Structure 1
Amino acid sequence: MLAYIIGVVLFALGICISVALHEAGHMVTAKAFGMKVRRYFIGFGPTIFSFKRGETEYGLKWIPLGGFCDIAGMTALDEVTPDEAPRAMWRFKTWKRTVVMSAGSITHFILGFIVLYLMAITFGLPNLAANNVDYSKLAPVVAGTSCAHAATTLQQVNDDSCPPGSLRPADAGGLKAGDKVLSVAGQPATSWTGLQQQIKAAGGPTKFVVERGGRQLTLTIDVPRLARLGTDNQVTTIGMIGIIPQGPPGMLHYNGLDAVPATFVFTGDLFAETGERLLQFPQRVPGIVDAIFGGDRDPNGPVSVVGASRIGGEAVEQGLWQIFFFLLASLNFFIGVFNLLPLLPLDGGHIAVVWYERVRDWLRGLRGKAAGGPVDYTKLSAITMVLVVIGGGITLLTVTADIVNPIRLQ
């Protein structure tokens, strides 16, 4: 239990540091361009302490959930003093404002890359190809044996443990790691997919011909018929013996030099996966609601900071530090990409407004007209409030689900 608590605290601390550095990214770039940064605080709520260095006040607040960087004149509606007006952010060139507003997300990307690089030279990077294996082209070679048990819910399907009543038919029948299955009940096995279909159709004592150490052996395995949830969410009865395919390695290890390009490639793959998750997010929301009221929790569904911290705690408790750091890197990438969505009040929304002004003024210039004024954010307030309410509602749902029906490491 102590290891679990330490893991939760460490993961939450890692997220807090990431968010603090996100705001530091805004601050550093704003100062570099000459903008006026009034305050940089970590946390929210009452102030614990603060100090002023130069023109900026730095401090720490009691609620360690994020932080903020107060840049003078982020929009033309922000009030600025006469001495701040020349350095108001909205007066600066479009590309400079874009750099400052995207610096937070860029900081998350840099942090994620650093974590992945350190993983590459220590624990190794997950082999994403191992998660996208074409089993129809995979040879029917056994990497090991496992439990065969009935599974009529998604949670049971994803349970790799040996619950009460589970069997190990492959073990009992003498099948071993490294065996290549040549035939089942007299029918040739040419691929892992074919082997699975043959086993599903089998039942009772069944002849398996395998190749082991250059020799052919005939084994008799008593194949049980067990209830199982199919891909169509229908429960059927199939034959199972409990075997694991010999696929690509789960982790790939690199030296300090090779880890650099490998991490770049892996980061690109992770970006693509993050984009897919964002596109799939709306269709996964009903699953969150269902999980709150007792339904099966999708292990690949959205999680909140609370849920991610709990998984991080379980990873530490089980000594799976590679999962802890991979989850931390993935969360940094997700926050970075999400924050760039062109929606207010996210940084991406502000960037979209800035570039709208730039394109609009360019088009006006082509028609011989003067540049238009800054966008009136008050006209966008209704849309902003709707998005804030929707975002708050989804956050509340995921936090609730992570408390009453959390995703757990198997």
Structure 2
Amino acid sequence: MNILGVLLFAFGIAVSIALHEFGHLLTAKAFGMKVTRYFIGFGPRLFSFRKGETEYGLKAIPAGGFCEITGMTALEDVHPDDRKRAFYNQKVWKRVVVLAAGSITHFILGFIILLILAMSLGLPNNKGLPVLQEVTPCVPVANVTDGSCPSGSPAPAKNAGLQPGDEIIAIAGQQTPTWPDMQRITRERTGPTEFKIIRDGQEKTVTVDVAKVTRTLTDGKGGKETKEIGAIGVLPKESFTYSPIAAIPAAVSFTGDMFVNTWKGLLRFPERIPAVVQAIGGGERDLDTPISVVGASRLGGDAAERGLWAFFVLMLAGLNFFVGVFNLLPLLPLDGGHIAVNLYERVRDWIRKLRGKPAGAPVNYMRLLPLTYVVIFLGGAITLLTVTADIVNPIRLQ
């Protein structure tokens, strides 16, 4: 099952790459540009076929793909018959759409994955909402470790009539926007306490006789302490499943959250690289360190082996959002770099027009080659580091 998970995840990555390039292909053809080749992979050609003016095919190394559009820069030698259809002769907005189409395809694919997840396995409770998954028969005492309910064990939530699906919004007049808030306030209480809940869209008030139990807790400094706390015997809801109609806004909201998290992850990316180097040297692998497609596929295998298919699917969605956002960074040779160049030309020519001057010459990509090589070198080095770390000291699901 682990191997199957790895293969399935790798296949998901390959499909994402194929659709990325297909986004470029589809928009370029829609605008009348000439697309000569569409290939998945690099290296030796495994097979190909021609349909119209475009050759479609598969290459031996499944590490990317490409869509070859005639006249990507003004430096390219284009046949006179094709000049009107060359990329560099199209309006700027058309060029930007074609260049951004790969990332947009990733975003659409990621949203569709989340939409399907919302209607099937459920979206994770990523905001920690205090919604009940289960009301336990009792609150076990300290010396009970098997989850059983000895005679006389308190059952506060059950006795108060709390039900799975209830959302606790306030305790003793204090708001509980998240599950940790609910836990913190509950632990400070004892005896009959007013709980405000939402059940089936209606607000209700119930009185829960909060029990006092002995628990060993983490003290926030890595140590542990034993103390008496309040408890009611409930477990949090870890995911939410939606109807087809309700799934749309839920997936939209979750997509927004993933965009925010992806951007935050990209900003923190450089500072996490030293941790990858330490992991290669034998240090403990931080769960927050960057991973390669190798590491992601291994995690996919772990998830499949443990039956965590919701996590598996969520990783695929997250991968698409990450690649989509990363590809829009204004750095050559990424699509975002080409977009930046085209937008620069448009703004520059607009300013020149206001000054009564003709449009400037196209940007000379040859002058940008040193910067492009630096980006390629850094990207290759980071890829090598993360792949090495994922082989010698991988992140694994516990």
TM-score range relative to shorter protein: 0.7 to 0.9
Looking at structure 2, the residues matched to 314 and 359 of structure 1 have their Cα atoms a distance apart, in angstroms, of 49
Paired residue type of 1:46: P
**C-alpha contact (below 8 Å) 2:157/2:208 kept by paired residues:** no
Is 2:326 the partner of 1:338? Answer: yes
Map 1:75-154 onto structure 2 (within 5 A): 75-130=73-128
Looking at structure 1, the residues matched to 292 and 232 of structure 2 have their Cα atoms a distance apart, in angstroms, of 32
Deviation string for 1:150-176 (max 9, x for gaps)? xxxxxxxxxxxxxxxxx9599899677
Deviation at 1:191, TM superposition (A): 6.3
**C-alpha contact (below 8 Å) 1:192/1:245 kept by paired residues:** no
Paired residue type of 1:17: V
Q: What is residue 20 of structure 2 aligned with on the other side?
A: 22
| Cα pair distance change 1:219/1:329, threshold 3 Å | closer
Paired residue type of 2:261: E
Deviation at 1:81, TM superposition (A): 2.4
Q: What is residue 352 of structure 2 aligned with on the other side?
A: 364
Give the counterpart of 1:279 among 267, 274, 286: 267
Looking at structure 1, the residues matched to 57 and 126 of structure 2 have their Cα atoms a distance apart, in angstroms, of 42
Q: What is residue 318 of structure 1 aligned with on the other side?
A: 306
For normalisation by structure 2, the TM-score amounts to 0.80
* Secondary structure in 2 matching 1:35: coil
**C-alpha contact (below 8 Å) 1:294/1:405 kept by paired residues:** yes
Paired residue type of 1:109: F
Deviation at 1:127, TM superposition (A): 1.7
**C-alpha contact (below 8 Å) 1:126/1:252 kept by paired residues:** yes
Map 1:89-238 onto structure 2 (within 5 A): 89-130=87-128, 168=145, 178=157, 192-193=183-184, 221=214, 230=220, 235-236=222-223, 238=225
Looking at structure 2, the residues matched to 298 and 373 of structure 1 have their Cα atoms a distance apart, in angstroms, of 49
Q: What is residue 289 of structure 1 aligned with on the other side?
A: 277
Q: What is residue 7 of structure 2 aligned with on the other side?
A: 9
Query: Structure 1 stretch 109-118 or stretch 169-178: which is displaced more?
Result: 169-178
Deviation string for 1:251-289 (max 9, x for gaps)? 111111111121111111111111111111111111111
Q: What is residue 65 of structure 2 aligned with on the other side?
A: 67
Deviation at 1:43, TM superposition (A): 1.0
Looking at structure 2, the residues matched to 384 and 245 of structure 1 have their Cα atoms a distance apart, in angstroms, of 58
Give the counterpart of 2:335 among 347, 350, 357: 347
Paired residue type of 1:394: I
Deviation at 1:144, TM superposition (A): 9.4
Looking at structure 1, the residues matched to 67 and 3 of structure 2 have their Cα atoms a distance apart, in angstroms, of 31
Q: What is residue 41 of structure 2 aligned with on the other side?
A: 43
Deviation string for 1:17-41 (max 9, x for gaps)? 1101100110111111111111001
* Secondary structure in 2 matching 1:84: helix
Looking at structure 2, the residues matched to 125 and 245 of structure 1 have their Cα atoms a distance apart, in angstroms, of 24
Gaps spanning 5+ residues in structure 1: where? 134-140, 149-166, 183-189, 199-207
Paired residue type of 2:310: Q
Paired residue type of 1:342: P
Looking at structure 1, the residues matched to 81 and 233 of structure 2 have their Cα atoms a distance apart, in angstroms, of 69
Looking at structure 2, the residues matched to 80 and 120 of structure 1 have their Cα atoms a distance apart, in angstroms, of 48
Looking at structure 2, the residues matched to 388 and 7 of structure 1 have their Cα atoms a distance apart, in angstroms, of 31
Paired residue type of 2:55: E
Name the Cα RMSD after superposition. Answer: 3.5
* Secondary structure in 2 matching 1:83: helix
Deviation string for 1:42-77 (max 9, x for gaps)? 111111111111111111111122211111111112
Looking at structure 2, the residues matched to 145 and 344 of structure 1 have their Cα atoms a distance apart, in angstroms, of 59
Total equivalences in the alignment: 359
Give the counterpart of 2:297 among 281, 300, 309: 309
Gaps spanning 5+ residues in structure 2: where? 160-170, 172-180, 194-205
| Cα pair distance change 1:194/1:73, threshold 3 Å | same
Give the counterpart of 2:238 among 229, 241, 250: 250
Deviation at 1:86, TM superposition (A): 2.4
| Cα pair distance change 1:193/1:23, threshold 3 Å | same
Deviation at 1:79, TM superposition (A): 2.5
Q: What is residue 198 of structure 2 aligned with on the other side?
A: none
Identity of aligned residues (%): 54
* Secondary structure in 2 matching 1:41: strand
Q: What is residue 196 of structure 2 aligned with on the other side?
A: none
**C-alpha contact (below 8 Å) 1:130/1:247 kept by paired residues:** no
* Secondary structure in 1 matching 2:243: coil
Deviation at 1:110, TM superposition (A): 0.9
* Secondary structure in 1 matching 2:15: helix
